[in-house]
């Protein structure tokens, strides 16, 4: 059984970036991903880099570091990520108070500017003028998520890392190392980093560890490349997802997550859309806090609901050809990620629960890898899972 310094479980953005940074520090690293064609949260994300959205010294610093990394990342990884900056339009629906909504954004590092409905439609001609009272706008980063992961993974293997396609079924820590059981073979590691997003909670349970990491079922529609041209990234100004996560992540709700038949909070629909450089559009999204990762949902009804909601604001997108998809999105109880060893398990780490992954993950992966070489980092220490103990 081969032994590595690190085994990283999960080949999405989190696992790929962390593996690359660890390998760059000359650790021997094995990256395990169960799907040759990923079906994870990274795959179905918008690829948005909300570097303007920091509200605390910690998140502002990470967002600033993150956008600086992204601006040079294609060169560093020697591979195209399709990084760009575009206008984000946060729509204020008819019936909402634009001034009140604007006030709720004043604490951000770069507060968005208020536009009247006509100016918003100038920025995005596909908007339905009658559906909005106003909009907020701010510059926003964006990458092609699949290309970013590919770039990190290729740079990881060039740095000496090993990638294997295999599903991890169990973890066991004993005598200063962790045994990783997969459907193909077993591996041993001085340290394991669980980067499996919404599946992190269930995987860590195989090592008899319970962490305050939860998940939503995120549902969206992806179109093929289309002739319709969306100029901006469009989202609602009054998003419901973070409020739902805060409710579902409350301490008193923890027992519900131990059951497989619960819906911890009512589902929400935040209508939005992004078009990538290649012409594909992602339209979303519904989020559900179903405690069973394999819970059944009515895909046809979900797709109809998404199309109807987005169609109110962007009528040209309502009937575009496209396929419904679902993935799991991890979150913690305080909107900050869980990073570091789980309590009482010094060799078993979690790296999950990112509410703004594309902005803050790249600097956190770099900082974490530096920590593992012996350098202290108070910022990483603030994100320890032990803060919930």
Question: What is the average per-residue pLDDT within 217-234?
Answer: 97
Coil, strand or helix: which one is 212? Answer: coil
Candidates 3.90.190.20, 3.30.9.10, 3.40.50.2300, 3.30.465.10; correct CATH number of 100-139+214-331? 3.30.9.10
Select 3-80+145-212+334-388's CATH number: 3.20.20.140, 3.50.50.60, 2.70.160.11, 3.40.50.300. Answer: 3.50.50.60
Q: Is the pLDDT of residue 372 over 90?
A: yes
Compute the distance between CA of residue 246 and CA of residue 257 in angstroms, rounded to an integer.
14
Q: How much is the pLDDT for 24?
A: 98
Q: What is the pLDDT of residues 307-338, one digit of tens each?
A: 999 999 999 999 999 999 999 999 998 999 99
How buried is 363 (Cβ within 10 angstroms: 0-12 exposed, 13-18 middle, 19+ buried)?
buried
Residue 106: is it exposed, middle or buried by C-beta count within 10 angstroms (0-12/13-18/19+)?
A: exposed
What is the pLDDT, as a whole number, of residue 333? 86
Instruction: State the DSSP string of 158-171.
Output: HTT-EEEE--EEEE
Burial of 97 (0-12, 13-18, 19+ CB in 10 A): exposed
| Residues 148, 37: Cα–Cα separation, whole Å | 14
* Banded pLDDT at 198 (limits 50, 70, 90): very high
State the pLDDT confidence band at 36, using cuts at 50, 70 and 90.
Answer: confident
How is 351-387 classified by DSSP, letter by letter?
Answer: EE--SSHHHHHHHHHHHHHHHHTT---HHHHHT-GGG
- Residues sharing a CB contact under 8 Å with residue 296, sequence separation 6 or more, in sequence order: none
pLDDT over 90, % of the chain: 95
Return mean pLDDT, the chain.
Answer: 96
Provide the β-strand partners of residue 254: none
The answer, yes or no, to whether residue 243 has pLDDT greater than 90, is yes
Per-residue pLDDT at 349 exceeds 80: yes
Domain locations in the chain as residue ranges: 3-80+145-212+334-388, 100-139+214-331
Predicted confidence band at 1 (pLDDT cuts at 50, 70, 90)? confident
Q: Tell me the C-alpha distance between 249 and 201, whole Å.
A: 13
- State how far the Cα of 367 lies from the Cα of 376, in Å rounded to an integer: 9
Q: Which whole-number Å values give the CA distances from 324 to 23, 96, 150, in the listed order?
A: 36, 30, 23
* Residue 168 or 2, more confident: 168
Examine the pLDDT at 2 and tell me if it is beyond 90.
Answer: no
Mean pLDDT value across residues 212-241: 97
Q: Is 135 within 8 Å of 85 (Cβ atoms)?
A: no
pLDDT attached to residue 100: 97
CA distance 168 to 182: 4
Under the banding of pLDDT at 50, 70 and 90, the label for residue 38 is confident
pLDDT of residue 382: 96
Q: Which of 286, 238, 271 is nearest to 136 (CA)?
A: 238
Residue 216 burial (10 A CB sphere; 0-12, 13-18, 19+): buried
């Amino acid at each position: 059984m081969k032994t590595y310094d690190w085994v990283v479980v999960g080949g999405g953005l989190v696992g790929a970036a962390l593996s690359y940074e660890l390998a760059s520090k000359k650790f021997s690293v094995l990256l395990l991903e169960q799907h040759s064609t990923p079906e994870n949260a990274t795959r179905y994300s918008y690829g948005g880099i909300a570097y303007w959205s920091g509200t605390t010294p910690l998140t502002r610093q990470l967002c600033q570091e993150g956008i600086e990394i992204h601006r040079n990342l294609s060169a560093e990884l020697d591979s195209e990520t399709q990084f760009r900056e575009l206008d984000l339009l946060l729509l204020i629906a008819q019936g909402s108070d634009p001034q009140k909504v604007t006030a709720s954004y004043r604490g951000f590092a770069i507060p968005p500017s208020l536009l009247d409905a006509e100016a918003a439609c100038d920025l995005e001609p596909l908007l339905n003028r009658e559906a909005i009272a106003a909009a907020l706008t701010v510059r926003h980063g964006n990458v092609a998520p699949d290309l970013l992961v590919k770039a990190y993974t290729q740079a990881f293997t060039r740095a000496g890392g090993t990638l294997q396609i295999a599903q991890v079924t169990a973890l066991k820590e004993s005598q200063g190392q962790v045994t990783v059981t997969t459907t193909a073979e077993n591996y041993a590691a001085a340290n394991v980093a669980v980067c499996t997003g919404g599946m992190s909670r269930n995987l860590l349970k195989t090592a008899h560890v319970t962490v305050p990491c939860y998940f939503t079922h995120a549902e969206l529609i992806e179109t093929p490349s289309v002739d319709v041209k969306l100029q901006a990234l469009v989202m609602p100004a009054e998003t419901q997802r973070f409020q739902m996560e805060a409710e579902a992540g409350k301490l008193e709700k923890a027992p519900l997550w131990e059951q497989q038949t619960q819906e911890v909070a009512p589902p929400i629909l935040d209508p939005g859309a992004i078009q990538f450089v290649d012409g594909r559009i992602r339209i979303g999204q519904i989020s559900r806090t179903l405690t069973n990762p394999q819970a059944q949902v009515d895909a046809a009804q979900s797709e109809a609901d998404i199309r109807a909601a987005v169609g109110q604001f962007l009528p040209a997108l309502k009937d575009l050809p496209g396929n419904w998809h679902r993935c799991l999105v991890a979150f913690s109880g305080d909107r900050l990620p869980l990073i570091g060893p789980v309590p009482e398990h010094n060799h078993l780490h979690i790296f999950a629960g990112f509410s703004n992954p594309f902005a803050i993950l790249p600097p956190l992966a770099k900082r974490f890898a530096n920590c593992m070489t012996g350098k202290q980092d108070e910022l990483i220490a603030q994100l320890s899972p032990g803060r919930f103990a």
